[in-house]
Amino acid sequence: MQPYKIYVVAFFVLFITSNVKAQTNSPLKLLFIGNSFTYRNGGIEKHIKLMADNTKKPIPVQVDKATKGGATLKIHFGIDSVHIKIKYGNNDIVILQEDIPEYKEHTIAPFFEYATLFEKEISLSKSKLVLFMAWPYERLNWISLDEIVAAHKTIAKQLNATVAPVGIALDRSLRIRPQMAMLGKDMEHESVHGTYLASCVIYATLFNKSPKGVSYWPEGITKTDARYLQGLAWKTVKDWKKNN
């Protein structure tokens, strides 16, 4: 099977899982594993839950997280509680957020190694894998966004996994509306607008539907900005699916 066909199959299976759960009113159980990029500004999992609750047809969602500041997948793999949540959490989808710049080895090899190890474990637990693609930053600037994107493309094809292209969306927004900060003062962690855009990208990836029209957005964001971020997220996800 060709790589792009594998990716389409992965996304289709993810969509079927989400759709069946929605139709049966059984909550879709989501587990988020990551670092401060995941728990910043109240936690992406909480924003996803509020978005799912505040759409025209609410989507029953139950969320959980395993997060640790500065943690890579390599660090998470050494934490017993993370494995317990994967094995016994009855999750439908596990969202893995890697922070590639944090690797002191200055190589993407640990990302590939530990994403593969986690995928085996997630698959054994009958859950689906989504890779939350993050972004580069100045403090640890040995890797570019293009290299992060390429790494996610490669491992997603190898693992038959779905990617939520958050880093691409943040970069696009900075190009379109440079006055709207995507990162905070430290130029590493998301602003509230960056967190909401990340949430919209993950929402669109999980449910294969546009977040445009969702009536929830966090304090500090205007309705106009929310609609812009929702639309950009959907276009980014559609472009990723089309080109990968």
For residue 25, the model assigns a pLDDT of 75
- Topology of the domain comprising 3-238: Rossmann fold (3.40.50)
Classified as helix, coil or strand, 236 is helix
Indicate whether 9 pLDDT > 70: no
The contacts of residue 211 (CB under 8 Å, 6+ apart) are 51, 55, 200, 203, 204, 230, 233, 234
Q: Which amino acid is at 196?
A: Y
Indicate whether 7 pLDDT > 90: no
Angstrom distance (rounded) from CA 108 to CA 100? 7
Q: Are strands 61-67 and 128-132 parallel, antiparallel or unpaired?
A: unpaired
Instruction: Write the burial class of residue 54 (CB in 10 Å: 0-12 exposed, 13-18 middle, 19+ buried).
Output: middle
Q: Are strands 28-34 and 128-132 parallel, antiparallel or unpaired?
A: unpaired
What mean pLDDT do residues 163-174 have?
A: 98
The contacts of residue 17 (CB under 8 Å, 6+ apart) are 28, 92, 93, 128
Q: At what angle do helices 145-159 and 3-24 cross, to 10 degrees?
A: 80
What mean pLDDT do residues 160-185 have?
A: 98
Q: What is the pLDDT of residues 69-124, one digit of tens each?
A: 999 999 999 999 999 999 999 999 999 999 999 999 999 999 999 999 999 999 99
Record the tokens describing residue 11, joined without a space.
């996304």
